[in-house]
Amino acid sequence: MPGSPSASIVIPTRSRPDYLGVTLASVMPQARGAEAEVLVVSDGPDRSTATIAELHSARLLCLPEPRGLNAARNAGIRAAGSDLIVFIDDDIEAPPSWLANLLAGVRRVPNRDVFGGPIRARLEGRRLRSCGREAAPITTLDLGREDCDVAHVWGANMAIRREAFERVGHFDERLAGRGDEEEWLERYADHGGRIRYVAGAGLVHRRRAADASIRALARAEYRLGHSARRNDVRKHEAPPLRAELRTLAGCLWHTLRRRCANGVVMAAHTAGRISEAITAERR
């Protein structure tokens, strides 16, 4: 569209002003330099979110009531002024070259409609004891040093051309938690779409000190375990309950044998999966 922004950066959020402020501080200068727009989509009314968006001169959209991450993404799509829509989470920090590298990667491959980049974890203020065999217990992505076609990217760092939504439809607002963007990517692939990984367009996925304790991480993973199990059921890939129980035992063994804090978080995730499986059997 002539005169439209180079990209529309959509940031769904729900009552997390401390995270959002860091995200906007890192993104807004890049957006101004690239003539892109930034849309903060508040999942329900929240005065603190409005204050932070105004402080950083970001455009604010507010859903009348909480409807979930995919509903916020869809609201951003409808309001976006660019044909390239970039989705990031509200708890990231973008290095100064992130947006320029992402836009350059998009320009290099005009026959791709979906793009994503590396996501690196940062747990702030704490040093969890880990055996080093597992990644940090929050979303990360590292698919190598070179741009390449890949099977998936994640919604914390993802760009999609508008025409892909016109072909495939919007995100499924019935889904929440693990797999919320995965279902859309599956539909996109079913339509013959291909995904491009832009190795230079990395950003940092943060957890503040208060959210980086074992207790806080385990609580978050327990909730994600529920949604991960539902996502596997949707794909007809859910393992039997006995397999989930074996995984839980393995996580606990790992925790004790390796003295690894990540084992506690993995056990919480598996416990959430088991709880979801038992609940589903009782329905």
Q: Are strands 119-123 and 195-197 parallel, antiparallel or unpaired?
A: unpaired
Say what the pLDDT of residue 1 is. 53
**Exposed, middle or buried: residue 278 (CB in 10 Å: 0-12, 13-18, 19+)?**
exposed
Please report, for the chain, how many H helices and E strands are present, in that order: 9, 11
27-69 pLDDT, tens digit per residue, is 999 999 999 999 999 999 999 999 999 999 999 999 999 999 9
Residue ranges of domains in the chain, CATH in brackets = 8-209 (3.90.550.10), 213-282 (no CATH)
Say what the pLDDT of residue 255 is. 86
67-113 pLDDT, tens digit per residue, is 999 999 999 999 999 999 999 999 999 999 999 999 999 999 999 99
Is 187:114 a contact under the CB 8 Å cutoff?
Answer: no
Does residue 126 register a pLDDT over 70?
no
127-173 pLDDT, tens digit per residue, is 666 766 667 778 899 999 999 999 999 999 999 999 999 999 999 99
Q: pTM to 2 decimals?
A: 0.90
- Mind giving me the DSSP string for 122-170? EE-S------SSS--SS--B---SS-EEES---TTEEEEEHHHHHHH--
Show the tokens assigned to 113. Answer: 């409609």
Say what the pLDDT of residue 125 is. 84
Say what the pLDDT of residue 206 is. 96
Q: Are strands 59-62 and 157-161 parallel, antiparallel or unpaired?
A: unpaired
